[in-house]
């Protein structure tokens, strides 16, 4: 049968109309509530590769969690504000910086959590010792254990932790485990890990599962990147360390001798309730089970150590980029010294200005990053910022390979530190659920300075003269990777 003569022309016209419609839609819709750089990157993708770019935008263009999840976050925030009114009881062992009160108020407004005093904070910068400390804490559990890690994987390193959870269950302790779906399933033994948790009688759930056939779907790269452990409401751990061995079970990593260096903090005191509130939020989001009845009342002892802490949650469940706002506020308020440790330093324009402005106004600014990278695109995107940082006067220290410096913390002057799971990149600012803890206390900052010095001893300083003569191919890779970092 011969096709009508008009059919090819009609198909061509419809194709042109559809193509124009996509472009018009993109121009109108894409820039709404997006950074100009992000909107421009998406528009370029849609205009240069219209159908593929448009499909990618539909899959990855929204940085918001489903409405019901955002509503649950607001419910928890309201509860926290109502039940912690007046809890800003802190130590005044010496005069505070004039700017600190406004930072505390900002964090309270953004994340609902108050600043509380009477806490102890024990630093762990050794991977094995940190794992041992978490095992010891679980072994001492009497009522419940809440474990939440971006990556949870059963291997020779984590086996003692799983044994501790199993023993806790045998003692009648309630054990709940949260692990990110996409992150955890990407490692060997994912099914074995799940079977082990089930066999132990642990209550476990996947975070942000991508299971469209079960009606569970959101943008696939919106992930829960938090790492925390809470025992009986008395002890909490948080920081950068995942529940996996130091080489991340990758043969390529093992061949290269790569090992991750992380940083965790063990807390006791009222701040534990704040850390647990994030677990409660995430458990509620995944299960519809509200655990607030298990929350212990916050008690501040008069003779407690003088460490004040404030939990700052962030992620697509919040309207603003809480962690970015906190970091930038601290950077602009610093008076003497800023030391940043971040495995993935890919700042947006606001943070780049905050860091370089601090250096240009005479503040000592140091940045610790790894000499090598485990993620090629992020590694090269990060390198694209080195020239601007060095020209502004920022000192960059490259932690020598084959160790990947995965710790995440910031110190400002001798007063304030921020530790947690958040990288200083646009993924952590916009796409990942993160936990940060702001700590005020000169004793804590002093201890963290010792950790920073250990990084300095294991690093080499990158100088501008060296950087300007790097190979041309490296410059091209760095700048191309930088373009991709804007697409969110």
Tokens read off for 420 = 């947690």
pLDDT of the residue at 4:
72
Cβ pair 392, 356 in contact under 8 A: yes
How confident is residue 17, by pLDDT bands cut at 50, 70 and 90?
confident
The 10s digit of each residue's pLDDT in 435-464 is 999 999 999 999 999 999 999 999 999 999
Residue 488 has pLDDT above 60, yes or no: no
- CA distances in angstroms from 475 to 320, 384, 399, 406, listed in the order given: 33, 7, 21, 24
**Integer Cα distance of 247 and 225 in angstroms:** 18
pLDDT of the residue at 300:
47
Residue 22 has pLDDT above 50, yes or no: yes
3 backbone dihedrals φ, ψ, rounded to 5°? -75, 145
Between 13-17, 93-97, 320-324, the lowest mean confidence (pLDDT) is in 13-17
- CA distances in angstroms from 428 to 226, 322, 353, 410, listed in the order given: 10, 10, 18, 15
Cβ pair 482, 381 in contact under 8 A: yes
Q: Look at the chain and count its residues.
A: 488
**Integer Cα distance of 88 and 444 in angstroms:** 19
pLDDT of the residue at 89:
65
pLDDT of the residue at 127:
96
Query: Looking at the DSSP assignment, which residues form a beta bridge with residue 313?
Result: 435
Secondary structure of 391-455 as H, E, C letters: HHCCEEEEECCCEEECCCEEEECCCEEEEECCCEEHHHHHCEEEEEEEEECHHHHHHHHHHHHHH
Angle between helices 36-48 and 50-60 (to 10 degrees): 140
DSSP classification of residue 221? T
As a whole-number percent, the residues of the chain with pLDDT over 70 amount to 87
């Amino acid at each position: 049968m011969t096709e009508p003569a008009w059919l090819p022309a009609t198909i061509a016209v419809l194709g042109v109309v559809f193509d124009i419609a996509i472009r018009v839609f993109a121009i109108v819709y894409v820039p709404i509530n997006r950074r100009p750089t992000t909107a421009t990157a998406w528009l370029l993708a849609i205009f240069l590769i219209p159908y593929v770019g448009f499909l990618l935008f539909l899959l990855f263009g929204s940085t918001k969690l489903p409405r019901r999840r955002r509503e649950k976050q607001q419910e928890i925030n309201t509860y926290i504000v109502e039940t912690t009114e007046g809890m800003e009881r802190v130590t005044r062992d010496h005069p505070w910086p004039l700017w600190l009160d406004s930072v505390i108020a900002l964090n309270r407004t953004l994340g609902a959590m108050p600043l509380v005093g009477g806490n102890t904070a024990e630093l762990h910068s050794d991977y094995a010792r940190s794992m041992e400390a978490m095992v010891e804490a679980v072994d001492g559990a009497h009522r419940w254990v809440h474990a939440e890690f971006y990556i949870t994987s059963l291997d020779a390193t984590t086996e003692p932790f799983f044994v501790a959870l199993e023993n806790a269950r045998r003692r009648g302790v309630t054990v709940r485990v949260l692990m990110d779906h996409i992150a955890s399933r990407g490692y060997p033994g994912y099914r074995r890990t799940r079977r082990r948790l089930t066999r132990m009688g642990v209550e476990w759930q996947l975070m942000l599962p991508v299971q469209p056939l079960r009606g569970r779907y959101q943008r696939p790269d919106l992930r829960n990147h938090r790492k925390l452990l809470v025992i009986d409401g008395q002890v909490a751990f948080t920081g950068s360390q995942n529940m996996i061995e130091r080489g991340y079970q990758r043969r390529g990593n093992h061949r290269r001798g790569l090992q991750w260096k992380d940083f965790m903090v063990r807390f006791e005191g009222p701040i534990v309730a704040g850390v647990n509130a994030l677990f409660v939020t995430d458990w509620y989001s995944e299960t519809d089970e509200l655990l607030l009845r298990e929350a212990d009342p916050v008690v501040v002892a008069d003779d407690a150590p003088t460490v004040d802490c404030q939990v700052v949650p962030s992620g697509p469940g919040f309207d603003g980029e809480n962690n970015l706002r906190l970091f930038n506020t601290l950077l602009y308020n610093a008076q003497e010294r800023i030391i940043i440790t971040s495995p993935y330093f890919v700042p947006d324009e606001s943070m780049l200005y905050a860091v370089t402005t601090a250096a240009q106004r005479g503040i000592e600014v140091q940045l610790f990053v790894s000499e090598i990278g485990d993620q090629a695109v992020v590694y090269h995107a990060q390198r694209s910022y080195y020239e601007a940082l060095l020209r502004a006067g920022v000192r960059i220290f490259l932690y020598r390979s084959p160790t990947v410096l995965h710790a995440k913390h910031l110190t400002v002057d001798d007063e304030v530190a921020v530790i947690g799971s958040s990288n200083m990149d646009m993924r952590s600012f916009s796409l990942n659920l993160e936990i940060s803890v702001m700590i005020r206390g000169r004793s804590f900052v002093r201890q963290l300075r010792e950790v920073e010095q250990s990084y300095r001893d294991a690093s080499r300083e990158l100088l501008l003269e060296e950087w300007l003569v790097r190979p041309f191919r490296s410059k091209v890779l760095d700048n191309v990777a930088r373009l991709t970092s804007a697409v969110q």
